Chains A and B, each alone.
Chain A
Amino acid sequence: MSNPTAGEIQRWSEELARDPASPAFLPLAKAYRRQGHWEAALRLCLRGLERHPSNVEAHALLARLYLESGELEKACDEWGIMLRLEGDNFEAHRGMGFFYLEHGDFEAARAHLDRSAAQRPDDPAVREALALLRERQSLAGGTRTGSAAALAPPPASGATPAPAAPGAVDPARVFEPLLAEAPFRGALIVDGRGLVLAGTLAVGGSDPGAPLGASAEAMGAILGGAIEEAQRTAENLALGAWRGMLMETQQATVHLAPLHEDMIVLLAARRDTPAGWVLRTAARAAALADGFLGGKT
């Protein structure tokens, strides 16, 4: 789908202003999501569903919005509604398959993924999920292991990619080689608009899987101002281009570094991590990010 024009967005907004029951809420909410206005997209979608409760596409969009913010349970509710409305909905089966896979209910996961695969056998996300399912089922007792957990970042990371995300490289797994490093708490690739492209993050508290105060999606937007300030400071003090910024806070040690095309890579580590380790690992994270971005382009 091509990006909607400003004229289209204005037309949909006007339609909704004239008639709050207009189905224009759906393309408008989709446009907001594409532009990174997650909150606005969510509000529109919820409001629209009050008047169009059986709109399957709107439930699918809502599920996707919840998924992108790490609210997997809520996303699952929406997929459930979709299946009640449309028993064979591909996206709902695929989403439910992922949900059950994450929760270790392999039988239910298999049932949903098989139904999705029957409809679209070449869907890369379904194929990957089935491969993951086989891998996990082959592990003793079917319990979640360290590697399985690593493959599936916690929902609270907020950067969990949508199951529909195509491509050979899973954005959530870009920084997987760094997971073995004890102080590592996550890394993200953020684009110039503050949107997260890849990675996961879990900084809050001492538990690596603990939820973060701000979602990973919000992180890019929040740090945008600091990055802009870093660039300005380096340029104005005749220090040349900025190469990175190391922040030591009460909760974490965070490193930001520029990639190409206005993108940055963020690395988070435990608060007590030596600066030298952070700088070295940040360089590794940048290389992994470059590899991911290079592979995608």
Chain B
Amino acid sequence: MSDVLSVALSRLSRVDGVRGALIVDAQAGVPVVSELADGVAEPAVAALAASLFRRTAKAAGAAAFGGLETLQLEAEAGHVVMAGAGELVVVVVAEADAQLGLIRLEAQRAAGSLA
């Protein structure tokens, strides 16, 4: 399993504009494995991204949108892309001008390989 995680992360980390990628325990909000650039706070990314994903998933369910599969947060200085994989969430922190299409694809692929 750890090989699968590592491979998934290293593919993601190689994409242009990615500052870091983590696989996070969705319920606990703690990182399982990560590859982050300097200056990216691993515990904060894990806790906040997992919380955002969980809360949005709950809202999506309540709103009858069905299960949440991917979530993308857009902000002034960057993006956070998340893809659900059962009890895990693949989290990618990217620059504002990153290749989002590729990142989303790789995040979904990583989630698919974990689920």
Residues on A lying within 8 angstroms of B by beta carbon are 203-204, 212-214, 218-219, 222-223, 225-226, 229-230, 232-234, 236-252, 254, 275-276
Cβ contact within 8 Å between B64 and A245: no
- Sample 16 A-B pairs with CB under 8 A, ordered by A number: A203-B65, A218-B62, A218-B63, A222-B62, A233-B52, A234-B75, A239-B73, A239-B75, A241-B76, A243-B74, A244-B73, A244-B74, A245-B73, A249-B67, A249-B68, A252-B66
Chain A interface mostly helix, strand, loop or mixed?
A: mixed
Chain B interface mostly helix, strand, loop or mixed?
A: mixed
| Given A246-B71, A249-B69, A233 and B80 contact (CB-CB distance below 8 Å) | yes
Assess whether B49 is interfacial by the CB under 8 Å rule.
yes
Q: Select from chain B the residue with minimum beta-carbon distance to A242.
A: B75
Instruction: Please provide the 6 A-B residue pairs with the shortest distance between their CB atoms, ordered closest to farther.
Output: A213-B64, A250-B66, A240-B76, A239-B75, A251-B66, A234-B75
Which of A232, A237, A241, A246 is close to B72, meaning CB atoms less than 8 Å apart?
Answer: A246
A-contacting residues, B54-95, CB 8 Å = 55-56, 58-60, 62-80, 93
Cβ contact within 8 Å between B73 and A230: yes
Cβ contact within 8 Å between A233 and B56: no
Cβ contact within 8 Å between A249 and B65: yes
Beyond the given pairs A254-B60, A254-B65, 4 more chain A to chain B contacts, judged by CB atoms under 8 angstroms and listed by A's residue number, are A218-B62, A237-B41, A239-B77, A240-B77
